[in-house]
Amino acid sequence: MVMNPNLRKFVRTAHITVTVGWLGAVASFLVLAVTGLTSPDTQLVRAAYLATDLLTRYIILPLSLVPLLLTGPLLSLGTPWGLFRHYWIVVKLLINILSTLILLVHLQPISYLAQVAAERTLSSADRDVQVQLVAAAAAGLLALLVETALAVFKPRGLTPYGWRKKNEELDLSSSSDIST
- How far is C-alpha 129 from the chain's CA centre? 22
> What gap in Å lies between CA 76 and CA 160, rounded to an integer?
17
CATH number at residue 92: 1.20.120
Q: What is the pLDDT of residues 20-57, one digit of tens each?
A: 999 999 999 999 999 999 999 999 999 999 999 999 99
pTM over 0.75: yes
Task: Give the pLDDT score at 139.
Answer: 96
22 close to 70: Cβ distance less than 8 angstroms: no
Task: Give the pLDDT score at 32.
Answer: 98
Strands (DSSP E) found in the chain = none
Number of domains observed in the structure of the chain = 1
Q: What are phi and psi of 67, to 5 degrees?
A: -70, -30
Range of the domain at 133: 5-179
Closest CA to 144 of 28, 12, 3, 48: 28
